Amino acid sequence: MTNTNKFDYGKVAVLMGGNSAERDISLLSGNAIYQGLLNCGIDAIKIDTQKEVYQSLVDNNIERAFIALHGRDGEDGVIQGFLRMLGIPFTGSDTASSSLAMNKLLCKKIWLQMGFTTAEFAEVDSQKILNMTDAKQIITQLGESLFVKPIREGSSVGMSKVNGCDELVIAVKKAQQYDSVLIEKFIDGREYTVSILGGKPLPSISMVTPNEFYDFDAKYNANTTEYFCPSGLSSQQEKNLQKMALSAFNALGCSGWGRIDFIKDNNTDEFMLLEANTVPGMTETSLVPKAAQSAGIDFSQLVRKILDSSFCNDPFCSKQYYKNMMELGDCHG
Write the CA distances from 252 to 100, 102, 154, 278, integer angstroms: 7, 10, 17, 10
Residue 121 burial by CB count (10 A; 0-12/13-18/19+): exposed, middle or buried? buried
Instruction: Calculate the alpha carbon distances from 253 to 51, 107, 290, 330 in Å.
Output: 30, 11, 25, 15
Catalytic position from the list 63, 76, 184, 275: 275
> Could you say which of 64, 72, 259, 304 is catalytic?
259
Measure the CA–CA gap between 66 and 310, rounded to whole angstroms: 8
131 is catalytic: no
281 is catalytic: yes
Catalytic residue among 36, 220, 238, 310: 220
CA-based R_g, the chain, Å: 20
Q: Is 72 a catalytic residue?
A: no
Among 48, 215, 261, 330, the active-site one is: 261
Q: What is the DSSP letter of 233?
A: -
- Give me the catalytic one of 26, 160, 255, 277: 277
Three-state SS for 244? helix
> CA 137 to CA 115: how far, in whole Å?
27
- Confirm whether 220 is a catalytic residue: yes
Q: How many helices (DSSP H) and strands (DSSP E) are in the chain?
A: 12, 13
Indicate if 163 belongs to the active site: no
Q: Are 65 and 310 in contact (CB under 8 A)?
A: yes
CA distance 258 to 196: 5
Per the annotation, the verdict on 277 as an active-site residue is yes
- Catalytic option among 281, 300, 308, 321: 281
Active-site residues, by number, are 22, 155, 220, 259, 261, 275, 277, 281
